[in-house]
Structure 1
């Protein structure tokens, strides 16, 4: 029963994060970046850098999921920040979205930039 409750809670949270991400994607990204590295490598690097507790404290969680239009999406709890990483013929494009333009969003962008 306990596992069922945990699974249900995780599903509900993923659904909420998904709608937040879909809404954000209708607007201009906070920042668009490019890289010559493979998208998979960039996405894993972003996930790892966003999980640095020394930088982000106890809320240092980052998750990977397949992107809606290919590639990979890296996101934080409640999708406060997320990045769509898509590889193409001319390299990898990263579209970074943040719910708020605050210190944490800028810090996550700086961590992301180290992966380019």
Structure 2
């Protein structure tokens, strides 16, 4: 029962943040990066680093959404920051988006993301 409730919560959360993400994607990403690592490995690293309560406090949340063709999106609770990861050969192209790119939390998330490349 708990698993079902958790799955429904994540599905509802993804539906709420999609408009914000689509709006952000209509503009240029805050930063475009690349990695030689496989996409799932980079996504898990980003998710794990964004969940660090020591860095982000009680707002330490991150989720992974799987898209078409192996594309992954790692995003925060309110989609204030998210990263689209696209497989490129044996590596990964990463587009990082932040609602407020000069915000200290957004800059920390970008720095944490960079450590995963």
Q: TM-score range by the shorter chain?
A: 0.7 to 0.9
Question: Which segments of 5 or more consecutive residues in structure 1 lack a partner in the other structure?
Answer: none
Is the contact between residue 34 and residue 91 of structure 1 (CA under 8 Å) also seen in structure 2?
A: yes
Q: SS at 1:100's partner residue?
A: coil
Question: Shift in Å at residue 12 of structure 1?
Answer: 4.5
Question: Shift in Å at residue 16 of structure 1?
Answer: 2.1
Question: Which segments of 5 or more consecutive residues in structure 2 lack a partner in the other structure?
Answer: none
What is the distance in 1 between the residues matched to 2:47 and 2:91? 19
RMSD value, Cα: 2.2
- 2:116 aligned partner: 115
What is the distance in 2 between the residues matched to 1:27 and 1:69? 22
The 3 A distance-change label for structure 1 pair 36 and 61 is same
TM-score, normalization by structure 1: 0.87
Question: Shift in Å at residue 14 of structure 1?
Answer: 2.4
The 3 A distance-change label for structure 1 pair 7 and 93 is closer
TM-score, normalization by structure 2: 0.86
What are the within-5 Å matches in structure 2 for residues 1-20 of structure 1?
A: 11-20=11-20
- 1:33 aligned partner: 33
Question: Shift in Å at residue 78 of structure 1?
Answer: 1.2
Range that drifts further, 106-115 or 60-69 = 60-69
CA shift digits 1:8-55 (9 cap, x unpaired): 765543222011001111100000000000000000000000000000
CA shift digits 1:38-75 (9 cap, x unpaired): 00000000000000000000110100011356411000
